[in-house]
Chain A
């Protein structure tokens, strides 16, 4: 049965490493939901957080194939409940008439959300949270008319 798995991958901070990882994922036909690359405490190392949609067998293959890349230093699957994950969302929403009062109320009552910019016909809402929370928030925003939406994909870190 397919499930979402979060893989944290330490890689060399070289030119071309993202292409190797992306190429591997497409060549082997793995389904990924998101992939983020970011700096770490060590400037020679980057961290990739990859959310994979896979069954147990496929997941094992993803991890082993990633680990086979010379530029991949380590691959860890983050197990449920033992890590914190966050995404950032930006949404441009219509902001007309009485609705904007309700929109302001929704944003104020949602932890991690705020209005980041306002213009006469629309405003940009930002929100930080885990994937489930942001999914729900997007559903609520739809009522106001989402013009554009972007999400960063998941970053994650073990609690200890």
Chain B
């Protein structure tokens, strides 16, 4: 019997899963794995920190739809991955994390660099495996990828004790995967359950009866590859579409039926439309608290339809009238074959009026405004770039002022809200989509949490572009301190950092922008750099607030920083999010 070393079996299985790239750092107990990867043809990217590796795998997965892979050694290597794993878990991103573990004979003895990785990651993975026998490696890898990419996707961790990877066994590859406790509704052509079929018919009736319907689409539309089906549903029924933060790009914002983003920092008119709707069709979205505000008040008058692949998403925060559990693409295809146009003429006219009455607005200041930077990036890239972000004000401005038209064009940490996500996620995205323009729109606070990964980007000559909205504050914290803590800026001020020097020290192009007229030339210059990263240090208005805003726990029709409240204070209305045709028709003075 020919035998193969465990690490070789692992690598062979990764290749059969289609893995082309992995991100990670070698260490004591995962040396056999790295050694087997060394000449395997899989592109292994050394990161500076394991958190970077996890976010890169995540960014790669979000940008491509493939499974991202990251590797770390035991103990600190594994614990450094955890923020990235939790980020992927909250946003349902398919990632497989391969961690080294001390040898099986010393597990539990507090060995050097030992941590109970399975225990630590249990609540932040879709599933995890500890492989104690080399003969289990092939089946485990097969199952891990199957679990990560099917149903509601998510991260899966495989903990590999070093002795398992050096032991030898016959290589038997399981072609079929059967896990008796895991039967996701994954197949687009699979028959829809009779209960769900009946509910689809109820949904068709509810849609036909409605006069003020709204579609609320989430990341499930993007994960499920159902953007075309969503577009068909909206056009066929004439129902306008709002998306969650993670749903941006799932419906083109150039479409007249696009309402943009709803929720805490969503558009005013969009939130008013949701508050007034009589039928809400949630598709691949989970009614997150940043979307619903006060759950009891959310779309209070509406008959709620909820289409989701994960049964546990139904009735979790908001009670729905018509639940439909299934693959979003399969359900939408069935629904599209049955729906009839809804009578939405008056409703669309009313929304059009609200869109004119309550545009986005900001006041010009002496210093550069971050909103202007995002608008200029949107214009320079024509809404065709991949945009990664950190977390905070800049993330919300990116969501508001960039026009997202394509699925997988926004890469952002929605659920966990992980500051420091932007740069490594942009790196992962650029590896996945090498010919495309990738921007990281970041804040100085967020960027500094993982800024060391500039070295990784520079090493691989990635032409990513980093736009730092440098306001020398944790800006969203500062905004909340102004709103709710009497402007006591407890630890929200940041030390000024020269990001141009930091960029240059890492082998990147560094550009500083201090005036409005420098914004576009700097963006255009960054777009011309093709052999290394560019970092633009935008010294922006330090106390600009992100408006509008629903205060936590408040209903959607009680917003702060509304158009009305800002227009008399010198605000300039902004209409970026409407198609050029419609923008012309609106003819704002």
Interface flag for A1 (CB, 8 Å): no
Interface flag for A67 (CB, 8 Å): yes
Known contacts A16-B118, A19-B122, A57-B319; is A70 also within 8 Å of B179 by CB? yes
Interface flag for B314 (CB, 8 Å): yes
Known contacts A12-B181, A68-B310, A71-B181; is A60 also within 8 Å of B315 by CB? yes
Determine whether the beta carbon of A23 is less than 8 Å from that of B319: no
| CA–CA, A68 and B130, complex, Å | 19
Residues of A within 8 A of B147 (CB): 70
Residues of A within 8 A of B315 (CB): 57, 60-61
Q: Determine the main DSSP class of A at the interface with B.
A: helix
Determine whether the beta carbon of B182 is less than 8 Å from that of A20: no
Q: Which of A11, A27, A57, A74 contacts B123 (CB 8 A)?
A: A27
Determine whether the beta carbon of A20 is less than 8 Å from that of B122: yes
| Chain B contact patch, size range | 10 to 19
Determine whether the beta carbon of A70 is less than 8 Å from that of B181: yes
Residues of B within 8 A of A73 (CB): 180-181
Interface flag for B265 (CB, 8 Å): no
Residues of A within 8 A of B123 (CB): 23-24, 27
Interface flag for B126 (CB, 8 Å): yes
Q: Which of B122, B182, B316 contacts A61 (CB 8 A)?
A: B316
Determine how close the nearest CB of chain A comes to the CB of B101; give it in whole angstroms: 14
Determine how close the nearest CB of chain B comes to the CB of A14; give it in whole angstroms: 10
Which residues of A68-126 have CB atoms within 8 Å of chain B's CB atoms?
A: 68-74
Interface flag for A64 (CB, 8 Å): yes
Determine how close the nearest CB of chain A comes to the CB of B315; give it in whole angstroms: 6
Of all chain B residues, the one with the shortest Cβ separation from A62 is: B312
- Interface core residue of B179, B181, B315 (most chain A CB under 10 Å): B181
Residues of B within 8 A of A61 (CB): 312, 315-316
Residues of A within 8 A of B130 (CB): 15-16
Residues of B within 8 A of A36 (CB): none
Residues of A within 8 A of B314 (CB): 64
Determine how close the nearest CB of chain A comes to the CB of B374; give it in whole angstroms: 37
Of all chain B residues, the one with the shortest Cβ separation from A64 is: B312
Interface flag for B225 (CB, 8 Å): no
Determine whether the beta carbon of A68 is less than 8 Å from that of B312: yes
Determine whether the beta carbon of B181 is less than 8 Å from that of A64: no
Chain A positions near chain B (C-beta within 8 angstroms): 11-12, 15-16, 19-20, 23-24, 27, 57, 60-61, 64-65, 67-74
Chain B positions near chain A (C-beta within 8 angstroms): 118-119, 122-123, 126-127, 130, 147, 179-182, 310-312, 314-316, 319
Q: Give me 6 A-to-B residue pairs in the complex whose CB atoms sit less than 8 angstroms apart, sorted by A's number.
A: A11-B181, A23-B122, A61-B315, A68-B311, A70-B127, A73-B180
- A12-B180, A15-B130, A73-B181 given. 11 additional CB < 8 A pairs? A24-B123, A27-B123, A57-B319, A61-B315, A64-B312, A64-B314, A68-B310, A70-B147, A70-B179, A70-B181, A70-B182
